[in-house]
Amino acid sequence: MKKLDMVYEGKAKKVFRTDDKDKFVVQYKDDATAGNGAKKGTIEDKGIVNNKMSAMLFEILEKEGVPNHFEELLSDREQLVKAVKIIPLEVIVRNVSAGSFSKRYGVEEGILFDNPVVEFSYKVDELGDPLINDSHILALKLATEEEIEHIKGMALRVNEVLSELFLKKNLKLIDFKLEFGKYHGETILADEISPDTCRLWDTETNEKLDKDRFRRDLGNIKEAYQEVMKRLEQ
């Protein structure tokens, strides 16, 4: 597989074409941002952890019936993926109150919900990724009713699989963000799954082992990411 020109550079990854039109190479960066890019920095070796963790979790999810874009790990920082066309929606699944949910609705962090909360945001940086509902998605023609329900179903299945997996590693999956894309007419999971996109708390101490350590200047960011990877590999 030959890597060609870069087609996209985001906050945390670069995407390259290959000599196979159906495949991309994704390269994970150490760059870190928060507040829709308002805060910027670098987390040493973050790209290595996120690349390997995403690969591991995508493989697990595929076996559990969640189709996704992952093909194979190429190196410490690169993986081969299906060339999906990303749907401009971020899908957030919340199990416990935290982050923007707590701020938005004026509730303390750490409240366990009776049922998972599924939110959508419109993935447009210039607009600040605003929250939208099903009616907005239909009005903007971002997805059909069937696709919305399919995406929700997949997101909740991801939540079931990952919550159980992380719990075995003494981690609570507080919330997480997913993205989906179209590949030959099928809607599949894409992007990444890592401490950049998941809130993960230690089950005993509630210590934050995710990007909140960067957002909130808590320190030991590199160590937190590596601790999650270490637990998953055990």
pLDDT in tens, the chain (234 residues): 899 999 999 999 999 999 999 999 999 999 998 877 778 999 999 999 999 999 999 999 999 999 999 999 999 999 999 999 999 999 999 999 999 999 999 999 999 999 999 999 999 989 999 999 999 999 999 999 999 999 999 999 999 999 999 999 999 999 999 999 999 999 999 999 999 999 999 999 999 999 999 999 999 999 999 999 999 999
Q: Tell which of 82, 113, 128 closes a domain.
A: 82
Same domain for 92 and 172: yes
Q: Which of 35, 59, 82 is the last residue of a domain?
A: 82
Sequence-ordered strand ranges (E) for the chain: 3-9, 13-18, 23-28, 31-34, 39-42, 70-73, 78-82, 85-86, 89-96, 112-122, 131-132, 171-183, 186-190, 198-202
Same domain for 75 and 89: no
Q: Which amino acid is at 211?
A: K
Domain boundary among 23, 54, 82: 82
Domain of 39 in residue numbering reads as 3-82
Question: How far is Cα 211 from Cα 141, in angstroms, rounded to an integer?
Answer: 32
Do 70 and 106 have their domain in common?
no
Are residue 121 and residue 102 in the same domain, yes or no? yes
Residue 234 domain-assigned (yes or no): no
Bridge partners of 9? 14
Do 125 and 14 lie in one domain? The reply is no
Indicate whether 230 belongs to any domain. no
Give helix 221-233 / helix 46-63 axis angle, nearest 10°: 30
75 and 105 co-located in one domain? no
pTM of the model: 0.96
Do 194 and 154 reside in the same domain of the chain?
yes
* Pair 123, 72 in one domain: no
